[in-house]
Amino acid sequence: MKKELFEPFLLFDQWLEEAVRTEPNDPNAMALASVGQNGMPSVRMVLLKSHDSNGFVFYTNEGSQKGQQLLAHPKAALCWHWKSLRRQVRTEGDIEKVSSEDADAYFATRPKASQIGAWASLQSEILPEGLEFERRIAHYTAKYALGPVPRPPHWSGFLLKPIKIEFWQDKPFRLHDRLVYYRSEDGWITQKLYP
């Protein structure tokens, strides 16, 4: 293992900037894997909303399946795949909720329709037949017709604090490049892996 003097976030920033220029849709889309009460893994796509040397932040309804799983078992994995660049980044780590101030600040930047949707959707619950969802949207649209829409108490953000980050780059003849960073008490340690 080799001790690196820099953090993997510098490489992640570079790769994400390139993806923003080349990916046709949602370069910040990432697969989020969590674990249910029965130990069964569950994966879905979410959007990266911010990141720094502490980790990666995304937002969701805490009552959703993923929200409940993350609160009950605060460990998760993320994966970005940028097909146009033939690259992938994977990370695993511990989950923490973001501060109420950070959640409020991000919620305030969302389009009003998305803010109303956060109130109206009982995410991951069974949707009855008929127009129940539309009625809920109409109710919250009327309730918050004037002024700012407050953040629902069940809607917040999560920070994945990585303990491992792997960068995968496609190479000819399946000689792919795999570089893994492991967090240690005094920095990041790297290893190259066979493809």
Q: Which residues are catalytic?
A: 174
Decide if 165 contacts 184 (C-beta within 8 A): no
Decide if 87 contacts 14 (C-beta within 8 A): no
Phi-psi region of 34 (alpha: psi -120 to 50; beta: other; left: phi over 0): beta
Cα 141 versus chain centre, distance: 27
Structure tokens at 150: 């407050």
Decide if 163 contacts 183 (C-beta within 8 A): yes
- Tokens 């009982």 appear where? 122
Decide if 33 contacts 77 (C-beta within 8 A): yes
